[in-house]
Amino acid sequence: MSISLIVVGAVLVLLVIGWGIGLYNGLVQVRNNIDKAWKNIDVLLQQRHDELTKLIDTVKGYMQHEQSVLDGLTKLRVGYDDAGSTEEKVRIENEMNREIAKLRHTWEGYPDLKASQNYLFLQKRISTVESSIADRREFFNDCINIFNIQIERLPDLLLARALGYARRSFLEVPEELKQDVKVSLG
């Protein structure tokens, strides 16, 4: 065997190894971006859950017959705290978003509640947190989208399957929040 064949073979082996390392590092990067994005949003979600608990306590006296909605939100909040994985937290958060949207519609029927200073303060605080969550939700979902695309592209697909990578779920916005807001000025 000639030296040139050995050198060409070695170069090819090094190129394949380098290519494999590049694929692996790319998959690790997109996976870690999801984890980072989730940690950033998780902080805000925890703030929201803490504030939501205070708001629920404030409105309980006004909304005795809505107790099941309030209890459901409390159970979801506890479930979120106990969730072990990001996927489980995303599922619970998506469910909580739907319940919060229903609760907002219910609150509209309580004029005395809407005049309460505690309610107004907490509602403003939650709106601020919700705005921040929306920004971070967009970044999180972008990271999820990039990850899902990358693990489904060839040749990344082969390595992703070998590593057990699977599609991740997006953090959703409930349909109720996407509908047009009706404003009445009189």
How far is the C-alpha of 118 from the C-alpha of 120, rounded, in Å? 6
Q: How many whole angstroms separate alpha carbon 150 and alpha carbon 168? A: 12
Portion of the chain with pLDDT greater than 70, in percent: 77
Q: Is the pLDDT of residue 102 over 50?
A: yes
Question: How much is the pTM?
Answer: 0.63
How many distinct structural domains can be found in the chain?
1
Report whether pLDDT(126) > 80: no
The answer to whether position 177 is within a domain reads no
Please give the Cα distance from 96 to 150 (Å, whole number): 29
Give the 3-state secondary structure of 108-174.
CCCHHHHHCHHHHHHHHHHHHHHHHHHHHHHHHHHHHHHHHHHHHCCCHHHHHHHHCCCCCCCCCCC
* Domain encompassing residue 44: 3-171
For residue 82, tell me if it sits in a domain: yes
Q: Which amino acid is located at 60 in the chain?
A: K
The distance in angstroms from the start CA to the end CA of the chain is 93
Q: Per the domain annotation, does 186 fall within a domain?
A: no
36 in any annotated domain: yes
Asked whether residue 168 carries a pLDDT value surpassing 90, the answer given is yes
Say if 137 falls within a structural domain. Answer: yes
138, part of any domain? yes
**Residue 182 pLDDT more than 60?**
no
pLDDT digit string (tens) for 19-54?
A: 999 999 999 999 999 999 999 888 888 888 887 777
What is the CATH classification number for the domain harbouring 159? Answer: 1.20.1440.20
185 DSSP assignment: -
CB 97 within 8 A of CB 52: no
In a domain, 178, yes or no: no
Domain-embedded: residue 185 = no
